Chain A
């Protein structure tokens, strides 16, 4: 199942950047043609998009805020992939994580911030983990198709969340369907308030990235998990119990997804909206794949997707190009990411020709 998610090694930093750049330019080029077709000016639109995402310190902070949950979702996919499983259930897990953080954030009262915030984050991780427990167990014990169960649990999670938010923890005075606001002590503290609000979510993200990089590259557990992910039967022959590692890779993935949802609620919304996630869980998948499990590369990918989301608002306001074009850019980029093997093949052939000329 996972041979298509194969992990090919890195070949130097420069070449590592060339490939994503080609894919990104191709996606922008294609969408540019579409903008022309819609009688817009692609150049102006892209300049407005860029300015909206990076043009001012405030815009930059907005972009970072949007990038944080996407990066966490990518981590959740990457950890599972590292252990040889494909976690397409991140969306459901992050919804549940958000629920865990909200419940503890709303109903635990009178705690100091230093206690309350970690409790909420841990609750979010636990909820995310629990939500991946049933699919993981069914997959390991019963050999059930993981993809199918994950797709269904995503849908179930979204309906359950709607029910709970509307009927159980709902705030009747909220403008959109939402839960009660979490306690002040459960809100993530701010690093910056001006020119725009930046929470410690970004620090947690960097910390998680460092921990992941350490876990994957430097620990025995990480090594054995990678062995399972790279070649399950070879790992079995080497005496590694592959089922256990696959199980835990899914559960850790669930915990990271839960953290993603919690941080989004505690840092950004401060209450649980039913539609707070615009599909972060699915954004994480192509980023994790393109980054080949490198947490730092995933940060860059998340920043790009975040920038598209933030910049689109400015683009629509300034040039009138509808912000759905961002879905087109992102969708075609993801399709191109899927085809990255072919781009690498073309690059390789180009290089061979150069060598032959010399």
Chain B
């Protein structure tokens, strides 16, 4: 175990954790307002594609990230329309969104780039200006600036949900929409806000995967990270700290299995090592004490009076 190897593992953990944590925070907003979001995968895919498209068109990766966030919001607006406005079945809408996004991004990729793999576009995979810092500079500069940005973003999300009237209302809507409505607050506006915020976070996570870790988009590039986001929200008990901690745990075991694979340690086949994070997660979730402080109305639509019959 030398220092270089340790650094490598640490960087790998951080890279693997970031998209799951970001999308997890997004899903937290959605579930806090009572909307289950199984469509995180699709929203991230839209974010990843729109990010690359934006970077391709403007030649500026930061504008690309902005495009990615907008792409995520666009995808989530469909989910919001079905689940908030039309009182739809949330699990089905999310799964449909995943299939729709997979088809749509591949189609558009073929229409714009000619194939289902985009060409290399301007990306932000490293932070060169940190290289000047003594000792740690070399390692720190290897991470995307988006990783550094996501730290204040996640802290901001924590502040938003626990310390602002808006955040407390978001939580109240997920627990007891009727009381919130009686108090004269627009329940549906808050629900839309929660789901669209979720889309923004998922879009950012997707853009991070296509522009912060790579420099291109390809078919099915999210490969299960969205579902991991759904998992960490429930395991992290709907609060940002828990979500980041769970994502770090999954990231740690994911990095570990990658290293086992690369080093050929014990010659365990890669398909088996890839299972490790999930087995650990199932063990962890079954050892968690019962109960929890989750939003009480997840998957329960709250309809406007005029839509009732």
Q: Which A residues are closer than 8 A to B by beta carbons?
A: 1-5, 34, 38, 86, 88, 134, 138, 142-145, 147-149, 151-153, 155-156, 159-160, 162-163, 166-167, 279, 282, 285-286, 289, 322, 324-328, 330-342, 345, 348-349
B92 & A285 in contact (Cβ 8 Å cutoff): yes
Q: List 10 A-B contacts (CB under 8 A).
A: A86-B91, A138-B282, A144-B288, A152-B282, A163-B272, A282-B95, A330-B99, A336-B96, A339-B93, A342-B85
Closest to A342 in B: B86
Of A86, A160, A163, most B-chain CB atoms within 10 Å? A163
Least Cβ distance of B295 to chain A in Å?
Answer: 12
Q: Name the distance in Å between B299's Cβ and chain A's nearest Cβ.
A: 5
Closest Cβ neighbor of A162 among chain B residues: B271
One of A34, A143, A149, A159 near B290 (C-beta < 8 A): A143
9 smallest beta-carbon distances between A and B, as pairs? A327-B103, A331-B100, A334-B96, A338-B93, A342-B86, A163-B271, A331-B99, A335-B96, A338-B92
For the complex, give the distance between the alpha carbons of A152 and B232 in Å: 11
In whole angstroms, what is the CA distance A325 to B106 when docked?
9
Are B271 and A338 closer than 8 Å at their CB atoms? no
Asked if B122 CB lies within 8 Å of chain A CBs, one says no
Chain B residues with CB under 8 A of A345:
307, 309
CA distance A256 to B39 in the complex (A): 26
A33 to B266 alpha-carbon distance, docked (Å)? 54
Contact for A327 among B100, B227, B301, CB less than 8 A: B100
CB of B169 within 8 Å of the partner chain: no
Whether A88 lies near B231 (C-beta < 8 A) is no
A142, A151, A160, A335: the one within 8 Å of B231 (CB): A151
Residues of A within 8 A of B103 (CB): 324-328, 330-331
Q: Are A333 and B107 in contact (CB under 8 A)?
A: no
Q: Which B residues are CB-close (under 8 A) to A324?
A: 103, 106-107, 110
| Given A160-B271, A328-B104, A338-B88; A152-B231 close (CB under 8 Å) | yes
How distant is B10 from chain A, measured CB to nearest CB, in Å?
Answer: 25
Complex: how many Å from CA A113 to CA B299?
47
**B95, B224, B290: which has the most chain A beta carbons within 10 Å?**
B95
Q: Told that A289-B89, A340-B88 touch, could you supply 5 new A-B pairs with CB distance under 8 A? A: A142-B286, A147-B91, A286-B95, A335-B93, A339-B82
- Nearest chain-A residue to B92 (Cβ)? A338
How far is B253's CA from A62's CA once the two chains are assembled, in angstroms? 44
Encode contact with A along B95-126: 1 for CB under 8 Å, 0 otherwise.
11111111110110011000000000000000
Chain B residue nearest to A323 (CB atoms) is B103
Residues of B with C-beta under 8 A to A341: 86-89, 301
Across the interface, name the chain B residue whose C-beta is closest to A327: B103
Give the residues in chain A near B82, CB-CB below 8 Å. 335, 338-339
Among residues of A, the one whose C-beta sits closest to the C-beta of B107 is: A324
Alpha-carbon gap, A145 to B291, bound state (A) = 10
Enumerate chain B residues within 8 angstroms of A334, measured Cβ to Cβ: 92-93, 95-96, 99-100
Total cross-chain contacts (CB, 8 A): 163
Closest approach, in angstroms, between the C-beta of A84 and any C-beta of chain B?
Answer: 13
Which secondary structure characterizes the binding site on chain B? helix
The residue among B82, B89, B231 with the most chain A CB atoms within 10 A of its own CB is B89
Q: Which residues of B contact A88 (CB under 8 A)?
A: 91
Task: Point out the residue from B86, B100, B288, B300 that lies within 8 Å of A328, measured CB to CB.
Answer: B100
A335 contacts B78, C-beta separation under 8 Å: yes
A286 to B96, CA, bound (A): 8
Set B86, B110, B275, B281: member contacting A322, Cβ < 8 A: B110
Contact A331 B96 (CB under 8 A): yes
Q: Does B234 interact with chain A (Cβ within 8 Å)?
A: yes
Q: In whole angstroms, what is the CA distance A156 to B93 when docked?
A: 24
Q: Is B200 an interface residue (CB 8 A)?
A: no
- Report the separation of the CA atoms of residues A335 and B96 in the bound assembly, to the nearest whole angstrom: 5
- Taking a contact as CB atoms under 8 Å apart, the answer to whether A152 and B281 are in contact is yes
* A305, B97: Cα distance in complex, Å: 16
Whole-angstrom distance from the CB of A343 to the nearest CB of chain B?
A: 8
B269 CB within 8 Å of chain A: yes
**Bound complex: CA A319 to CA B78 (Å):** 30
Residue from A166, A326, A327, A328 in contact with B271 in the complex, judged by beta carbons closer than 8 Å: A166
Which chain B residues in 159-210 approach chain A with CB under 8 Å?
none
Whether B274 sits at the interface, judged by CB under 8 Å, is yes
What is the chain A residue whose CB lies nearest that of B308? Answer: A345
* Cα distance, A331 to B271, chains bound together (Å): 30
Q: Is B278 an interface residue (CB 8 A)?
A: yes
A32 CB, nearest partner CB in chain B, Å: 13
Tell me, in angstroms, the Cα distance from A100 to B140 when the chains sit together: 49
Which of chain A's residues has its CB closest to B96's CB? A334
Q: Across the interface, do B107 and A34 meet the contact criterion of CB distance under 8 Å? A: yes
Chain A residues contacting B101 (CB-CB under 8 Å) are: 331
Q: Looking across the interface, which residue of chain A has its beta carbon closest to that of B94?
A: A338
Whether A339 lies near B269 (C-beta < 8 A) is no
**A163-B272, A166-B271, A167-B269 in contact; A331/B97 too (CB < 8 A)?**
yes
Partner of B235, one of A4, A38, A148, A335: A148
Q: How far in angstroms is the closest Cβ of chain B from A308?
A: 11
